[in-house]
Amino acid sequence: METIGFVGGGNMAEALIKGIITGRVYTPENIFVSDVRKERLAYLAEEYNVQASDENSALAAKVETVVLSVKPQNMTEVLQSVKDSLKKQALVISIAAGIKTANICAVLGDRRVVRVMPNTPALIGEGASALFANEQGKQFLQKAKSIFSSVGKVVVVEAEDLMDAVTAVSGSGPAYYFLLTEELIKAATELGLPADTAQMLVLQTAKGAALLAFDAEKNGQSAAELRQKVTSPGGTTEAALKILAEGKFGRLVAAAVKRARQRSQELSM
């Protein structure tokens, strides 16, 4: 069976390791991981029976697929550490936000590269990941899709510039929902509800609304149509939505997403 290595053993790497083992995409003996934190390596080796490596270069020499699961600010150093030991036909997958495939190849040479923007719900197997492959990596998109499909849904974008939009929408997106959840809980307690009751009602409403939206999508219904169904003329929902409209809620969301995209562009190497 083919081998895969994770350079960086953080939360996202762990989610992927768990996903590919559970989904039988790879077996533990064919999964390698390296990290600067020895205690983290020891934990991953014990928890998932994967192969720990103290050196990035040693890991790169052993595997057919290398997943660069490090922070963007550490990418240049990591690329330098693996460039001389990568197998000639290795597939390089990067999940670092803002790091372009051309910049990876500028250090590693002419390589098969797939750039991925996952998000934190991958930690519970419900992630949303977008993939972009350079010309050399396009024939290996299916392999990359099988890896990230093990932790959620996957889409492929044809233009790398769109990865900045993906980062702004789904990469940062969970925080937008968490903020709305936070504010709804706060508002509920200000109305007199006990904190635990407010939290249960808001979290269950969020869960139910998301599941309802997924179910409706199967029947071709949009989020706008679902909102209209909930909004009775002259009712409580309509009254609340009018306040959001007066505060230009839609424009505020659009401006926030555009700023996140701009920041992603600024962080690109």
Q: Domain 173-267 adopts which CATH fold? A: ProC C-terminal domain-like fold (1.10.3730)
- The model's pTM: 0.91
- Where residue 269 falls among pLDDT bands split at 50, 70, 90? low
pLDDT value of position 97: 87
- Where residue 267 falls among pLDDT bands split at 50, 70, 90? confident
CA-to-CA distance for 131 and 145, rounded, in angstroms?
8
In the chain, % of residues over pLDDT 70: 100
pLDDT digit string (tens) for 18-71?
999 999 999 999 999 999 999 999 999 999 999 999 899 999 999 999 999 999
Per-residue pLDDT, averaged over 83-97, amounts to 95
pLDDT digit string (tens) for 91-122?
999 999 889 999 999 999 999 999 999 999 99
Q: Residue 137: is it exposed, middle or buried by C-beta count within 10 angstroms (0-12/13-18/19+)?
A: buried
* Arithmetic mean of pLDDT over the chain: 95
Per-residue pLDDT, averaged over 119-148, amounts to 96
Per-residue pLDDT, averaged over 185-214, amounts to 97
Q: In what order do the strands lie in the sheet with 91-94?
A: 51-53, 31-34, 4-7, 65-68, 91-94, 112-117, 127-133, 152-156
- Where residue 266 falls among pLDDT bands split at 50, 70, 90? confident
Phi–psi pair at 152, nearest 5 degrees: 145, -155
* 212-220 long-range Cβ contacts below 8 angstroms, 24+ apart: none
| Domain boundaries defined on the chain | 4-163, 173-267
CATH code reported for the domain at 4-163: 3.40.50.720
CA-to-CA distance for 187 and 185, rounded, in angstroms?
5
Per-residue pLDDT, averaged over 218-239, amounts to 95
